[in-house]
Structure 1
Amino acid sequence: MPHDPARVERIKENLAQARARIDAACAKADRDPAGVSLIAVTKTRPAEDVRILASLGLTDVGENRDQEAAPKAAATADLDLTWHFIGQLQTNKARSVASYADVVHSVDRARLARALGDRAEAAGRRLTCLVQVNLDGDSRAGVLGPRGGVDPADAPELADRIAEHEALELGGVMAVAPREGDPYPAFGRLYEVSCLIRDRHPRATAISAGMSSDLEAAIERGATHLRLGAALLGDRGPIVG
């Protein structure tokens, strides 16, 4: 079935605008745009949008919920996609996520890392995992941000636990900027955590940070992966299929 031409054109225009923003931010930060990867977050969007994105050359796809990601990954299994799981994850979903995800951005505890590694190993797969860092508060004091993450001080130890599992590849770090305040210092803290982890694990270079509203700040602070939803696909509505 052919794509809706109007939808293709809209996504194509949005993608061009997003890339222009990325190029401008990279120029300001004296960075090469080739060092910044774009992940399309397709939450609440149909598999058809994933196919349109792929036809436009964007094959890194991110999802927040396994209930939506698993069937969408199955529906687009004929495409050469890289699936990024970016939402908070319960250990009882590890088997499902490890069956289709290539990268899990939201690993925030050792128990989850072990579960993902064991499930990936059982499936004969190797899974890249990022340490999700909490930039909202002090998780050790029980003041967790609403979107999870390990306390920055504890991130290097969690990185060690990921790296020691044979079925896991430590990719780097991920964070969501606090809802209130300036994202620049928050992303600066994430960069500092990344440096600490890279001192121990030089190949863990990924910094997943920045969304539609704050990608410029993320690029300024060293982000290597951006997670864009609304900027590419418009404001989120109910799932359309």
Structure 2
Amino acid sequence: MIDEALINRNIAELRQRIRLIAQECGRDPNDITVLAVSKTRPAAAIRVAASAGLTNIGENYIQEAVDKQLELQDLPLQWHCIGPLQSNKTRLVAEHFHWAHTVDRLKIAQRLNDQRPSTLPALNVCLQVNIDREPQKAGVAPDELKNLAEQVATLPNLMLRGVMAIPAARDDTAAQRQTFAAVRACFQSLQGEYPQMDTLSMGMSRDFPAAVAEGSTLVRIGTDIFGART
């Protein structure tokens, strides 16, 4: 059973929080996109979020997302792949998504490029940077980001749009902001050469206030929209 009232209330509260944080930082709240992260959530919950104006949908599990897309094809949604990209899943992403946030190596970018149907516009991609250099986490090292950007920018069926990061969990706001500032520096270091880069994808339910304060243009929110998973 979908609690529509809860989802709508959560979205209203989330927007208000983002608005206040943005105002405190001198930012325009309209420059911050909310990506509704809907992994394991039913299509009906996404429909409620879309009716409240959230049309950017983030999914970690690719086949699950494709199934939901069929159910929701009447809605004008933008589908973002935010889960790990493996070679055996690139075709589904290339054929069914508008965005891929987790590109971290040329092999994956090349496959997405080659498998993108010619009838579709270029696939928007973000490069995932492993800002904390965690060995168990995906993402390119910060000092390898420039080289990967150069390679991806040559692929005609991809549009290099930004940088994405999932920093290590930190409870201290100052520490969160310090890490997000490092991600922003990586992003800004590429913008001069690639002016089409306009997306800094960082911040989730636990730390999005710090991310917004440090310049995030897209926050990936699941729990604070749909509630805790049961």
Is 1:189 the counterpart of 2:179? The answer is: no
- Measured on the aligned residues, the alpha-carbon RMSD in Å equals 1.5
Contact 2:84 2:102 in 1 (8 A): yes
- The equivalent residue for 2:157 is 167
- The equivalent residue for 1:150 is 140
Q: 1:119 Cα shift?
A: 0.8
Mapped partners of 1:34, 1:160: distance in 2? 30
- The equivalent residue for 1:220 is 213
Q: 1:113 aligned to 103, 109, 116, which one? A: 109
- The equivalent residue for 1:43 is 39
- The equivalent residue for 1:65 is 61
- The equivalent residue for 1:230 is 223
Is 1:176 the counterpart of 2:166? The answer is: yes
Is 1:87 the counterpart of 2:83? The answer is: yes
Q: Aligned residue pairs: how many?
A: 227
Q: 1:124 Cα shift?
A: 4.0
Q: 1:122 Cα shift?
A: 5.2
Flag the 1:19–1:124 CA change in 2: closer, same or farther, 3 A: closer
Flag the 1:54–1:196 CA change in 2: closer, same or farther, 3 A: same
- The equivalent residue for 2:29 is 33
Is 1:136 the counterpart of 2:132? The answer is: yes
Mapped partners of 1:213, 1:172: distance in 2? 22
Contact 1:172 1:194 in 2 (8 A): yes
Flag the 1:187–1:71 CA change in 2: closer, same or farther, 3 A: same
Q: 1:157 Cα shift?
A: 1.4
Q: 1:104 aligned to 86, 100, 107, which one? A: 100
- The equivalent residue for 1:208 is 201
Contact 1:99 1:123 in 2 (8 A): no
Q: Aligned with 2:126: secondary structure?
A: strand
**TM-score, normalising length: structure 2:** 0.94
Q: Aligned with 1:200: secondary structure?
A: coil
Contact 2:59 2:82 in 1 (8 A): yes
Flag the 1:12–1:167 CA change in 2: closer, same or farther, 3 A: same
Mapped partners of 1:121, 1:199: distance in 2? 30
Contact 1:62 1:227 in 2 (8 A): yes
Sequence identity, in percent?
36
Amino acid at match of 2:51: S
Q: 1:156 Cα shift?
A: 1.4
**TM-score, normalising length: structure 1:** 0.90
Q: 1:207 Cα shift?
A: 0.1
Mapped partners of 2:125, 2:100: distance in 1? 5
Mapped partners of 1:58, 1:180: distance in 2? 27
Q: 1:99 Cα shift?
A: 1.3
Q: 1:136 Cα shift?
A: 2.2
Amino acid at match of 1:115: R
Q: 1:125 Cα shift?
A: 4.0
